[in-house]
Structure formats: structure tokens, C-alpha cells
Amino acid sequence: MPRFSPWYGTVAVMLSFAGGCALAADPVDPARLAASRACLSCHAPAARIVGPSFKEIAGRYRGDAKAPAALARTIRQGGKGHWGQLPMPANPRVTEAEAAQLARWILDRK
């Protein structure tokens, strides 16, 4: 029976972790994320539905350095009065990382 060096096991474990890390680091498509988190129920890329379009949001906050953090917070906690009297409900299913990714994606709309 052949004997294997203990290094083979170590290398195998390291490769399995490296593969898992690469998969975990893969970014989620923001459009699919927006659809899966119900954002598209009220917002659309270029047309107002219930709330403003992503294009309107990007236009209003273009150049505002605080906008990404503020928008991410609004995505998670909801808000009222930014776009009229109809409140935006909180979306606790969205993680902080997802909210930050969605905020950057929305603010990049032209």
C-alpha cells in the first residue's frame, strides 16, 4: 500500500479553501440582487413606478460623497420624505454588504 506524505493532505485542504474563497468573493449581479430583494417592485431602471427610478436617484445624488452610505442605510432601514410622502419600507432581508453594493450600482446609473 503506498504511503502518502502528510503534505498531500495539507495541500488538498489549502486548495479546497482557496476554491471556496474564490467562490465566496464572486460578486453577485446587482440587477439580479435588486430583483431578488424586491427592489423592482417599486423601482425601475429608468421609469418611475411607486418610487423614483434608479436613474432619478443617481441624478439627484451625483457628486455627493455621502450618498452611497446614506442610500445603503435607506435601502435597509427605509425612509420617508426624500421623494414625497409615500414612505419606502425597510428591507431587513438586505445585508449591509448587499445594501452597499446596490447603492453603488444605483448611483452608477446614467
Question: Average pLDDT of 34-58?
Answer: 95
Residue 97 has pLDDT above 80, yes or no: yes
pLDDT at residue 25, as a whole number: 45
Question: Residue 58 pLDDT more than 70?
Answer: yes
Q: Is the pLDDT of residue 20 over 50?
A: no
Q: Which residues pair with 88 in a beta bridge?
A: 79
Residue whose C-alpha is closest to residue 35's, from 110, 105, 108:
105
pLDDT value of residue 68: 98
Distances (CA, A) of 79 to 8, 60, 82: 55, 16, 7
What pLDDT is recorded for position 110?
84
Cα torsion 20, 26, 32, 38 to 10°: value is 70
pTM summary value: 0.74
